């Protein structure tokens, strides 16, 4: 691929940026979840270029981004009342719905599936780009395949400078982990990926929601995940990661007992001073899962610029946004997890 001169646009320059999409080019787009790598979702050649720029396997489908829920019926064959109930409550926002697709959606977007992932993002620059482009925008996260997702323009440029025509710098992402994915073609609806809209919030609207096994355990040999992306190693820094689960104090003590000088540690702010001689990345306070979600990808990404040869990570419980933070850390660790005995208080919360 010939290197491109990647232009950085301000949010005031969205109409120029959106013109890139209209002529079939690739554009980095800020959203509230992570930065996305966008192309015209109805142009198969433009969509193919996304896979090439990321080094993304062809069997991993993309999400179509739309400016309003009333675009759903253009691309989805059946839009059940549940979809409108979710859109009413959570759109624009960090929720992707899997629905039956119409034939107008190119195969390259859906990796040949008869379903398509649909999302209406909530970032003023993303919304302005979508409106100006006038097409549904296919966009996965803007990282090189396998690396942590970018949560600011600089991180996306680390991976994509010279490979895309432009990027809109919309500042740091407010949510920090990718969208929640709910499969509405399954009965009951099935959570495929935890994200900024929590399982608890989905259940409040939908009633029963099943949780796909791939959310919290590795796939067994030959098992086919419902979200094809779940089968790939993801979000991983170069050094291997070990997640330590248990009460924050016990996990911190365990990590202290294991570390060697120069190791990397991802920990809650309360414990950041406890690892002298290590490369420490704070996730923010143990109680603040919103901050942990905002910081987790930058923390994982930061180790690639250090000489850390192994990384230890504290992890929140799986309640609310904790499920998404845990999922990203577990996947970065290839599900290499040390589970400490739980104390009475934690057991009561399970």
Name the residues that contact Mg ion, by CB under 5 A. 140-141
Query: What is the closest distance, in whole angstroms, from the C-beta atom of residue 149 to Mg ion in the complex?
Result: 5
**Tokens 């323009």 belong to residue:** 153
Cα separation, 208 vs 320, in Å, equals 16
The residue range among 111-119, 290-298, 301-309, 335-343 that interacts with ligand AMP, by the rule CB under 6 A, is 111-119
Structure tokens at 20: 């890139």
Query: What is the closest distance, in whole angstroms, from the C-beta atom of residue 286 to ligand AMP in the complex?
Result: 27
CB atoms within 10 A of CB 312: 25
Query: Is 296 a residue that touches ligand AMP (CB under 6 A)?
Result: no
CB atoms within 10 A of CB 47: 22
By C-beta, is 69 or 230 nearer to ligand AMP? 230
Residues 6+ apart with CB under 8 A from 304: 237, 238
Cα separation, 237 vs 147, in Å, equals 7
Q: Name the DSSP class of 141.
A: B
Q: Which of 79, 160, 181, 293 binds ligand AMP (CB under 6 A)?
A: 181
Residues 6+ apart with CB under 8 A from 344: none
Residues contacting ligand AMP: total by CB under 6 A: 19
Query: Is 63 a residue that touches ligand AMP (CB under 6 A)?
Result: yes
Cα separation, 318 vs 307, in Å, equals 31
By C-beta, is 140 or 248 nearer to Mg ion? 140
Which residues, 218 to 257, sit near ligand AMP by CB under 6 A?
226-230
Query: Is 290 a residue that touches ligand AMP (CB under 6 A)?
Result: no
By C-beta, is 141 or 302 nearer to Mg ion? 141
By C-beta, is 136 or 140 nearer to ligand AMP? 140
CB atoms within 10 A of CB 238: 11
Structure tokens at 288: 């603040």
Which residues, 72 to 101, sit near ligand AMP by CB under 6 A?
98
Query: Is 141 a residue that touches ligand AMP (CB under 6 A)?
Result: yes
Query: What is the closest distance, in whole angstroms, from the C-beta atom of residue 98 to ligand AMP in the complex?
Result: 5
């Amino acid at each position: 691929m010939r290197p491109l001169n990647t232009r950085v646009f301000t949010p005031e320059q969205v109409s120029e940026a959106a013109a890139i999409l209209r002529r079939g080019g690739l554009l980095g787009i800020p959203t509230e979840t992570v930065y996305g790598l966008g192309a015209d979702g109805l142009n198969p050649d433009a969509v193919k270029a996304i896979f090439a720029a990321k080094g993304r396997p062809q069997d991993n489908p993309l999400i179509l981004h739309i400016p309003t829920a009333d675009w759903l019926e253009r691309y989805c064959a059946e839009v059940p009342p549940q979809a409108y109930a979710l859109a009413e409550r959570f759109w624009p926002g960090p929720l992707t719905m899997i629905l039956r697709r119409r034939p107008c959606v190119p195969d390259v977007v859906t990796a040949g599936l008869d379903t398509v992932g649909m999302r209406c993002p909530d970032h003023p620059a993303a919304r302005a780009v979508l409106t100006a482009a006038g097409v549904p925008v296919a966009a996965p996260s803007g990282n090189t395949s396998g690396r942590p997702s970018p949560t600011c323009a600089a991180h996306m440029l680390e991976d994509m400078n010279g490979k895309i025509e432009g990027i809109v710098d919309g500042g740091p992402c407010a949510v920090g982990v990718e969208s929640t994915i709910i499969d509405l073609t399954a009965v009951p609806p099935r959570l495929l990926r935890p994200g900024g809209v929590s399982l608890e919030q989905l259940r409040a609207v939908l009633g029963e929601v099943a949780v796909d096994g791939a959310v919290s355990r590795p796939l067994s040999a030959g098992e086919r995940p419902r979200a094809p992306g779940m089968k790939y190693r993801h979000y991983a820094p170069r050094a291997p990661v070990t997640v330590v689960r248990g009460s924050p104090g016990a996990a911190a003590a365990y990590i202290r007992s294991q570390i060697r000088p120069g190791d990397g540690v991802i920990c809650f702010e309360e414990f950041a001073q406890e690892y002298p001689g290590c490369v420490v990345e704070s996730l923010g306070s143990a109680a603040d899962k919103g901050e942990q979600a905002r910081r987790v990808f930058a923390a994982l990404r930061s180790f690639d610029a250090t000489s850390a040869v192994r990384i230890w990570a504290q992890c929140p419980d799986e309640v609310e946004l904790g499920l998404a933070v845990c999922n990203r850390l577990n996947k970065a660790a290839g599900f290499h997890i040390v589970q400490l005995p739980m104390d009475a208080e934690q057991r009561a919360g399970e």
